[in-house]
Amino acid sequence: MTKRIAVIGPESTGKSEVCQHLARIYETEWVPEYARFHLDRMDRPYEKEDLKLIAQGQMAWEDDKAEEAGEYLFCDTNLIVMKVWSDHKYGDTDPWILEELEKRHYDFYLLGNIDLIWRPDPQREHPKMRKHFFDIYENYLKEHNLPYGIVSGIEDLRVKCAQDLIEDFFKK
């Protein structure tokens, strides 16, 4: 059975790059961030209702990739990120996202540390709030007793850190 690993964390913490590298290392699939695909095609700023559409698209992509994956499936974001973002921007989260968040199972989480330089991107909004968001993600993982490791380091060291965390966790 494929083990799902969600890679979460604040903006500009190398989530996509880590997912791509890990998928190559383990010769498996990874799920890109659907929000980028969705938002790049909009001709207006996103609204609260868009977050549910993004979450549904993310889960559809994840389910599709799971059918093709090998031992692992690396997910560049998940519904925790959608909840944190929605709560921050709009003060609450769509019930569908919350219900689906309770149903979805991930075997392990990789939490991107904020030790990378923040890089501007049209879809990034909070360069000065990365510590704030990192703490929210980590607290969520702890409060829900979810298995996780913190991915740190630059370039190849970051990928090696992620790989070591995976290997150590699944050896247990």
More confident residue, 124 or 99: 99
Query: How high is the pLDDT of residue 120?
Result: 64
Judge whether 33 and 16 are in contact, CB under 8 Å.
Answer: yes
Helix (H) / strand (E) element for 75: namely strand 72-76
Tokens 């695909």 sit at which residue? 37
Q: Minimal CA–CA distance to 151: which of 3, 68, 31, 141?
A: 141
Question: Chain-wide mean pLDDT for the chain?
Answer: 93
In this prediction, residue 128 carries a pLDDT of: 81
Confirm if 158 and 152 have CB atoms less than 8 A apart: yes
Question: 3-171: CATH homologous superfamily?
Answer: P-loop containing nucleotide triphosphate hydrolases (3.40.50.300)
pLDDT in tens, 100-159: 999 999 999 999 999 998 776 666 666 688 999 999 999 999 999 999 999 999 989 999
Distance from the Cα of residue 92 to its chain's centroid:
19
> Whole-model pTM above 0.85?
yes
* Phi, psi for residue 24 in degrees, rounded to 5: -65, -45
What are the domain boundaries of the chain? 3-171
**Which tens digits make up the pLDDT trace of 110-126?**
999 999 987 766 666 66
Q: How far is Cα 61 from Cα 59, in angstroms, rounded to an integer? A: 5
Give the mean pLDDT of 1-21: 96
